[in-house]
Amino acid sequence: MQRTFLSDSNNDYKLLENFLREGNFGKMPDHESNKAQFDPLNQEFITNAVHSQNPGLFGSYSASELADLKRTLEETVLPTRYDSVSAFNLINGLVEEVKRAAAELGADITLFPLYATVPTGRVNATAVNIPGASKPFLLFDGQLLTFCHLISKIYATSFVTTKNGDMRSFSTDLSTITKKISAHPEIVSRLAGVLTAFIRTGRPATSKPFPVDLDSIGLVECLRKSMEIFVIAHEFGHVYAGHLNNFLPMNAFPSDSNVSPQHKKEYEADYIGLVLTLAVLTKEGYDVALSIIGVKLFFSILDLANRYADFIKSGVKKKFVSTPSDSHPSNEQRRIAIDLGLNALKLENEEILRSKSLCEVFDKITHIFWQSLTQPTKKTGRNDQCLCGSGRKYKSCCMS
């Protein structure tokens, strides 16, 4: 079956494909791997690999449902020849959920941006105007989805879960969590592999794959989905900020006159992202407090990656301060703004208190991870396996 591309029939997508081909969005290191997915045999191999590495994720799928999924991937119409079949299918489903939530909240979604995936090989997403296109584009790299998924698995498996009938719950007792992490050093080594791959190559997907136990799958899904929905809704917010009547209460983000216009835009987009994330996840029955944690965890892990990058470079554990850039507030400032947004949303006080309590637990887990990551270890030798999890020797991978 021949793959169909929107760029062959739609001028906007044709402009995007030309924009990417001409290098206007930077290097496209994952283009060849994305192109390989166009072959149904390769796509089936990828789907089977994901299935084997994440048995809990597909545990409820029947053989016929898995066959339907593979057929859907084969028949997917892609925006451009640069798109990832797997990533675009995931993004497409998430975008549709964001659009439905936005419509239910009164947003005019006829102006919703076009969207596609791009093979930059980086954990990124952006809202961008393509010269000549009738609408803005939201562009996502598949590595972003992988990053959210892997981080969610690592944090979720740090908890001890209990089962009561069909219901599973997890203990937030820190001594229990500490014992679990100590008894399972592979949790920290997996995190080290993901962060090292993220820092050195930009591709967390190149870290060594690992499964997740069935007991943790519910927490994985909540954290993963809240992160992914938030990122998509944030980029959507950049396009729609200022165009939604009564959608942005004035106290939803910092009103300090010292906040730069660029930073204010990020706060506004974050608030829209928060509103839509909670709208999507609560409608699907996810826990409100956990959904908020997923959003905050995304910012926390970016700071952890920055700290770890500095540690890898210098070999010294330094005091870390979450710092802003010209275009973005610091990750810590954005977490604080999320709390202001929760107050503006007028959530039940009990939900806000649960969210804050859970946030303290996740922050302490991050601290435990940091202490474990920076413990003295044997120096990586030239012929040792690379820390990024690629399976290659250090001298032939990140050392070079």
Confidence (pLDDT) at 173: 94
Confidence (pLDDT) at 128: 87
213 and 76 Cβ atoms separated by less than 8 Å: no
Q: Give the global pTM.
A: 0.87
**Distance (Å, rounded) from C-alpha 175 to C-alpha 212?**
22
- Two tokens at 266? 């990020």
Q: Please report, for the chain, the start and end positions of each structural domain, with discontinuous segments joined by +.
A: 7-143, 144-373
Confidence (pLDDT) at 154: 97
Confidence (pLDDT) at 242: 46
Going residue by residue through the chain (400 aa), what tens digit of pLDDT does each one get?
688 999 999 999 999 999 999 999 888 999 998 888 888 776 666 666 666 666 555 555 666 766 776 777 788 899 999 999 989 999 999 999 999 999 999 888 888 899 999 999 889 998 888 999 998 899 999 999 999 999 999 999 999 988 776 677 899 999 999 999 999 999 999 999 999 999 999 999 999 988 888 788 889 999 999 999 999 999 999 888 743 333 334 344 455 567 888 898 899 899 999 999 999 999 999 999 999 999 999 999 999 999 999 999 988 888 889 999 998 999 999 999 999 999 888 788 899 999 999 999 999 999 999 999 998 765 666 777 765 556 677 667 655 5
Q: Is the dihedral of CA 342, 344, 347, 349 positive or negative?
A: positive
Name the residue among 253, 367, 254, 255 with its Cα closest to residue 301. 367
